[in-house]
Structure 1
Amino acid sequence: MNNLPSGTAMQDTTYLSATDLLARFRDGSLNPVDYFEVLAVAAERQQATINSAAGLFLEQGRAMAHESRRRYAEGTARPLEGVPVIIKEETSVKGWPRPLASLVFKDVVAVENHPIVDKLLDAGAIPYFQATNPEFCVLGHTWSKMYGVTRNPWSQAYSVGGSSGGSGAALAAGVAPLATGSDMAGSIRIPASLCGMYGYKPPFGRLACAPGDEYMVQAVEGPMTRSFDDLVLMQNVLSGPHPASFTTLPYTALPTEYGDLSGMRIAYSPAFGHPALESDIEHNLQQALDGLRRRGAIVEEVDLRWDLDEIGKVLLDGLRALFVDEFMTDISDVDAEKLSSYTAHLRQQASDYQPSIMPSAALGQKLHRDMQEKVWGKGYSAFICASMLTTDLPADQDPVAQPSLNVGGHQVDAFLGWVLTPPFNLLNRYPVLAAPTGLSKLGVPTGMQIVANAYDDETVFRVASNHAQAGTSRLFIEQFPVMGQKA
């Protein structure tokens, strides 16, 4: 192979951003075939300890890398030409398995691409790494009977989050610069924060959904990346109409450069008044807010006191009404023995009562009125809060075996009580961007959520751009995971 570095330089090449990678492909200092082989080594090596791959499609990737090298030579390269991409197992790729991490559906194979996969392929990207998710994507961690436990490259005893945890872990392990995720209750933002990534939950309609998901307005697909510039790059490729979707909005590309925040008013509430927020998460959040102040923003705390237990219950009921019980009703008692504990628990709940989508719409309106009164109506352009209350989360945490967690001396529900993401799935037209803020005392990344009013995507990207420029987080700049044996 040519142009392949060794030692520390190899890590630097492995962790190249897509933006830098494209520049090197264009100037000829690196080519897609050689680069793909570097990542293939990283992809196979991480599996022994991190276990973030549901499948590796290396020969398919190699063939596409050769095609990309030819296109660069001919001058026909496309916007993401030759860039390897991680695809969440839930996201359909024609011909790839799609069991949703369930032994019950182990033989299911996707018969068509998800619209965002079509967009990646049209842009010249190379999907080759299929990332793990929990069974039916209904857990905030990433483990299942089918795939086992996915571990955090930063500190392997701890959770990568979920349900896009395999995507977050694979990005942190350096197997590609871009990944897809999906978000029903924080499934992009939780692993983005716990793995040190940027992740974007776009407002519903910004990206084309899969056929049949048009009424799941709480759930969207979105990009996950190690750098802010890559998040812009990927979001611009993924966004906009697709022939398979009738709910997608027209789209104007996001800017690639943003000015400072002079005069912008930003509201924040660390945890909606929840007393269990760990001090290291709040410390890192306050450092990030100070960075935004240095960039010219006026940042002020507002008093939002939301019942996170109520929000989590109402959201989960709505998702069950539209999504979860669809699988449960078709599973026989014999097949139920194959389920992971948390999906078996949800199956039992499905037989006990009929959930409804209507309370989620009513509660979303209530939350919006509170935001209108205290944030948007007061002249604030953006809102910021932490992504979760704690990083002290075992990789194999089982909320059925341990229904509550002790966080800072407070008991919280083990399913959703430790995350601060679900409100914005009820407020599903709000754009929300997760950004890294540093490392916790456990060596696990921490993150924050940047929120704007309905369909104001550009504002959250402007704030995130300034956060990146402020440099208060050094993750994947000066700090990288050290992946050895399990702790």
Structure 2
Amino acid sequence: MLAQEIVQSVQAGQTSPGEVVRAYLERIERLEPRLRAFIRLNPKALEEAQQVEERLARGEALPLAGVPVAVKDNICTRGLPTTCGSRMLEHFVPPYDATVVERLRQAGAIVVGKANMDEFAMGSSTEYSAFGPTRNPWDLERVPGGTSGGSAAAVGADLVPLALGTDTGGSVRQPAALCGVYGFKPTYGRISRYGVVATASSLDQVGTLARSVADLARLTDAVSGHDPLDSTSLEVAPHFQMALQTPAQGLVVGLVREALAAGNSPGVLEAIERFRQVMEGCGLRFVEVSVPTLDYALAAYYIVNTAEISSNLARYDGTLYGLRVPAEDSITAMMQSRERGFGPEAKRRILMGTFALSSGYYQAYYGKALQARTKLKADLDAAFCQADLLLTPTSPFPAFRFGEKTADPVSMYLADIDTVAVNLAGLPAISIPAGFEGSLPVGVQLMAPPLGDERLFSVAHAFEEATGRAFARVAPLG
């Protein structure tokens, strides 16, 4: 079911939150062994559903009443382990909820489990989880994307109607495209990061996933808004559901030349062309635009990303919290704890980032990356002077097979080529299911200027209505 249908049914008294949660837990029990979308389930989900029922009986208005939600396992949940997909935090149980989780509970949603992810949100396939990979619900031999692969797979298979992920360089949008669901990354600061375990602080944002634009808007409204606990939070009120009533006609969409130049699979190019034709019929106009520094975005991103990872993950030193391996002295304890606690991709990025920040190399690498980031932002601003929105693929190809890219880290990093610029510039973007390549879903990405988030929902909703929701279907797992 869609979240909107669940809320209507619960509010009308046709079903109860407990019945909804039980039905989803039964589906999870049946399909989860094949998917591995969750690291763990919430043992108190039914108890929390009962509490929602009592709140409804008291007359509370709950916009997500009785809706099961999956939460990525780098978002803190009080009393429920938050591991970041890593052995380093395997036994960490937060004493508090992240702001987004608190807002989910306030809205009447039930967190049914913590979704699987690449370790510390580093990867593009969810193959780097310390607890095993998640599988794509459209083809169990292929990856779901990453790092929010568990969240996207859970929504794509209807193990939950809604999910939260985090997006550092495309980690909500890319798995959304590969699993055939909607994935939204907001303007930096529109959704609180309080209680989100940091990967790269200037890039990280909580994002939302759903199988319909209306559901995505409902979820995003519920978790957005200013948070005094997050120093980067913006004082901007969310109006995502209202945006669905705003006509999209008259908008100008820029086709980004560099993103469409080469390297995209046939199904992805067909999806771009389909989107253009459909939306021209809805009154949008398309023009070609250029973002010259887009070709440097991936290199700049992986320097900024790894530098911030090196800094943020220095706290996991076997001393205060996380895995601690006993040793005869503190230096050995730290070395052995980090050796056993981190997986290969985490170690790789820590080493890369430490090198980029090291004396003698700081300006040559990190300094240059910051300059490229500034120029990229300027080029994107110039493109938005010609168009209201920008259109690119979300991923240049559909889901790839397990093991296909793990032996060559650079080929894995190239999976992010269409998404990283958004994070470097702090822009909002949405991945829209727009077609299939064979049996595998593909998505297109719309970018908006800062604080143009709601405009993305207007256009996505118009496309969804015009195509009869043909591309955001539940994966045929049974």
**TM-score normalised by structure 1 residue count:** 0.86
Tell me the residue number matched to 1:364.
Answer: 373
Partner deviation per Cα, 1:121-145 (whole Å, 9 max, x = no partner): 1111111211000111110110236
Aligned length: 452
Write the letter of the residue equivalent to 2:170.
Answer: G
Q: CA separation in 1, counterparts of 2:385 and 2:367?
A: 26
Letter in 2 for 1:470: A
Residue pair 1:103, 1:145 contacting (<8 A) in 2 also: no
Query: Is 1:427 equivalent to 2:425 in the alignment?
Result: yes
Match of 1:402 in 2: 408
- Is 1:237 the equivalent of 2:222? yes
Structure 2 residue 373 is the aligned partner of structure 1 residue 377: no
Q: Match of 2:449, as an amino acid? A: N
Residue matched to 2:270: 283
Distance across 2 between alignment mates of 1:55 and 1:301: 46
Q: Distance in 1 between matches of 2:114 and 2:403?
A: 20
CA distance in 2, matches of 1:167, 1:383: 26
Q: Which residue of 2 aligns with 1:3?
A: none
CA distance in 2, matches of 1:26, 1:282: 42
Deviation of 1:251 after TM superposition, in Å, equals 2.4
Q: Does 1:261 align with 2:248?
A: yes
Which residue of the partner structure matches residue 249 of structure 1? 234
TM-score, L = length of structure 2: 0.88
Deviation of 1:184 (Å): 0.6
Q: Could you tell me how far apart the structure 1 residues matched to 2:36 and 2:69 are? A: 17
Structure 2 Cα separation of the partners of residues 72 and 337 of structure 1:
47
> Among residues 332, 336, 341, which one is paired with 2:335 in the alignment?
332
Unaligned runs of 5+ in 2: 318-333
Q: 2:432 aligned with 1:446, yes or no?
A: no
Quick check: 2:282–2:462 contact (8 Å CA) kept in 1? Answer: yes
The structural deviation recorded for 1:339 is: 3.6
Paired residue type of 2:90: K
CA contact (8 A) 1:361 1:426 kept: no
Change (3 A) 1:417 1:179: closer
1:102 to 56, 79, 86: 86
Q: Is the 8 A contact 1:260 1:296 kept in 2?
A: no
SS of residue matched to 1:290: helix
CA contact (8 A) 1:17 1:230 kept: yes
Is residue 2:225 matched to residue 1:225? Answer: no
CA shift in 2, pair 1:384/1:259, >3 Å? same
**CA distance in structure 2 between the partners assigned to 1:95 and 1:452 by the alignment:** 37
Higher helix share: 2
1:341 aligns with 2:344: yes
For 1:71, the equivalent position in structure 2 comes to: 55
- Quote the offset at 1:364 in angstroms: 2.7
Q: Provide, for residues 350-371 of structure 1, a one-character-per-residue CA deviation record: whole Å limited to 9, x for no partner.
A: 5544276554442232123223
Q: Tell me which amino acid in the other structure corresponds to 1:332.
A: M
| Equivalent pair of 1:199/1:433 in contact (CA under 8 Å) | yes
Note if 1:321 corresponds to 2:313: no
Aligned equivalents of 2:396, 2:340: Cα separation in 1: 33
1:471-486 → structure 2 map (5 Å cutoff) = 471=467, 474-476=470-472, 479-483=473-477
The 1:457–1:473 alpha-carbon spacing in structure 2 relative to 1, beyond 3 Å, is same
Q: What is the CA distance between 1:176 and its match in structure 2?
A: 1.4
- 5+ residue gaps, structure 1, are 1-15, 405-412
1:459 aligns with 2:455: yes
Letter in 2 for 1:344: K
| TM alignment of 1:25-44, pairs within 5 A | 25-44=10-29
Give the secondary structure class of the aligned counterpart of 1:301: strand
Kept after mapping to 2: 8 A contact 1:272/1:306: no
Aligned ranges 1:272-311 → 2 under 5 Å:
272-308=259-295, 310-311=296-297
Identical aligned residues as a percent: 23
